[in-house]
């Protein structure tokens, strides 16, 4: 989620949330709600906040919205908004009780650096709530998911004349190893790791700063 990657969304920022809803079969809001139920205390960094899709789920918290794309932030309704990347968070050490990241982690350029930065800005015992799409573990489910997302994203790309951007979103689904693998190297304590959705193509991870 560096500034260089934000160019992939500058042309489709008005449609990004609709695409997430389409890819999650309309369950994205309920899954965001489930993720927000894991928050502690009051301060929250909404990492990759984009247009502020989690505004309702994060109501009642002291939220700072961060995203590398200024156009997406222009539609964001949070009062505190900052342009920045996950790999270089513009905050002091131990600033937040929580970091909340929904449906953008696969777009982060350097996840190891991002993990380090998130740990740095979290208070002791702070939580990193991570919600994102992945591929199903089941071989049949995985193939069906790959086919379905290929058709949907490439078709939307052709129809909107933004093929490159939607192609990027498709390939991002295969960028990372399964969460059961890559989260072991995060440096965080894994309090919960749950798969959701058809064939388990979405995961919710509740991580705690050691």
Write out pLDDT tens, residues 57-93.
Answer: 999 999 999 999 998 899 999 999 999 999 999 999 9
Position 118 scores a pLDDT of 98
Nearest by Cα to 98 from 133, 57, 156, 157: 57
Domains and CATH numbers, the chain: 3-208 (3.40.50.150)
- pLDDT value at residue 7: 41
Please list, in sequence order, all residues whose beta carbon lies within 8 angstroms of the beta carbon of residue 100, skipping any fewer than 6 positions away.
Answer: 35, 36, 39, 44, 45, 46, 47, 54, 58, 129
Mean pLDDT across 10-17: 67
Give mean pLDDT, residues 130-155: 86
Tell me what pLDDT residue 198 has. Answer: 79
Structure tokens at 142: 């995985």
Q: Is the pLDDT of residue 11 over 70?
A: no
Work out the angle between the directed axes of helices 28-36 and 16-23 (0-180°, nearest 10).
90
In the chain, % of residues over pLDDT 70: 92
Tokens 């989690």 -> residue: 54
Task: Judge residue 93's burial from the number of C-beta atoms within 10 Å of its C-beta, 0-12 exposed, 13-18 middle, 19 or more buried.
Answer: exposed
3-state secondary structure of 195: strand
Residue-level pLDDT at 14:
65
pLDDT for the residue numbered 4: 38
The tally of CA atoms less than 13 A away on the side-chain side of residue 155 is 9
Helix (H/G/I), strand (E/B), else coil: 206: strand
- Strand partners of residue 62: 43
Q: Give 187's pLDDT tier (boundaries 50, 70, 90).
A: very high
Higher pLDDT, 3 or 18: 18
Binned at pLDDT 50, 70 and 90, residue 49 comes out as very high
Give strand pairing partners of 85: 88
DSSP of 41-107, one letter per residue? SSEEEEET-TTTTTTTTTTTSEEEEEES-HHHHTT---SSEEE-BTTB--S-TT-EEEEEEES-GGG
The answer to whether residue 2 scores a pLDDT higher than 60 is no
Mean pLDDT over the full length of the chain: 88
Residue 110 has pLDDT above 70, yes or no: yes
pLDDT (mean) for 36-40:
96
Unique residue bearing structure tokens 């998911």: 145
Backbone Cα Rg of the chain: 16
Q: For 113-132, what is each residue's pLDDT tens digit?
A: 999 999 999 999 999 999 99
């Amino acid at each position: 989620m560096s500034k260089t990657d934000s160019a992939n969304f500058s042309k489709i920022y008005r449609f990004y949330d609709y695409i997430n809803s389409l890819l999650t079969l309309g369950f994205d809001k309920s899954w965001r709600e489930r993720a927000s139920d894991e928050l502690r205390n009051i301060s929250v960094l909404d990492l990759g906040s984009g247009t502020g899709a989690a505004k309702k789920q994060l109501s009642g918290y002291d939220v700072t919205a961060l995203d590398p794309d200024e156009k997406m932030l222009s539609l964001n309704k949070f009062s505190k908004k900052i342009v920045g990347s996950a790999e270089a968070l513009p905050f002091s050490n131990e600033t937040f009780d929580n970091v909340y990241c929904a449906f953008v982690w696969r777009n982060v350029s350097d996840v190891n650096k991002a993990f380090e930065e998130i740990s740095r800005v979290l208070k002791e015992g702070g939580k990193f709530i991570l919600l994102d799409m992945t591929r199903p573990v089941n071989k049949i489910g995985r193939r069906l998911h790959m086919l379905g997302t290929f058709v949907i994203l490439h078709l939307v790309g052709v129809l909107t004349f933004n093929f490159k951007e939607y192609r990027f979103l498709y390939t991002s689904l295969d960028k990372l190893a399964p969460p059961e693998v890559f989260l072991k190297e995060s440096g965080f304590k894994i309090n919960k790791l749950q798969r959701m959705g058809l064939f388990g193509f979405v995961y919710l991870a509740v991580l705690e700063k050691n």
